[in-house]
């Protein structure tokens, strides 16, 4: 919004993007959410990616002193795969 000199004044902000589903399905507005969830699976939602959308840096935090459990490795791999699908392979390698 700032880049196009448009004021953004949300009437409600939430911390967890999945919470937006219920609000949008109930007709209470629109949601600006991350692209990592398969939003099309939710009934009644239309997904419209933003043209020239913002980049959203993420980090996966792990312990330096403990090896990852198998479940943690699987979750890491799934997060990387989701990021790769959204961003294209190069930016999701870290």
- Predicted confidence (pLDDT) per residue in 27-75, tens digit: 888 888 887 788 889 999 999 887 777 777 777 888 889 999 999 999 9
- Which candidate, 31, 25, 22, places its Cα nearest to that of 44? 25
Residue 85 pLDDT exceeds 90: no
What is the pTM (predicted TM-score) of this model? Answer: 0.53
- Which candidate, 58, 62, 63, places its Cα nearest to that of 84? 58
Rounded CA-CA distance 40/88 in Å is 19
What pLDDT sits at residue 30?
Answer: 87
Give one DSSP letter per residue of 26-70, joined into a string. Answer: TTS------SSS-GGGSTT----PPTTPPP--------SSSPPPH
């Amino acid at each position: 919004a700032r880049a196009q000199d448009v004021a953004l004044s949300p009437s409600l902000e939430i911390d967890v993007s999945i919470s937006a589903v219920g609000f949008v399905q109930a007709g209470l507005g629109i949601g600006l959410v991350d692209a990592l969830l398969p939003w099309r699976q939710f009934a009644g939602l239309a997904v419209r990616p933003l043209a020239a959308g913002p980049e959203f840096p993420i980090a996966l935090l792990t312990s330096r002193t403990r090896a990852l459990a198998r479940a943690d490795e699987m979750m890491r791999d799934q997060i990387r795969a989701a990021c790769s699908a959204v961003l294209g392979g190069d930016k999701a390698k870290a």
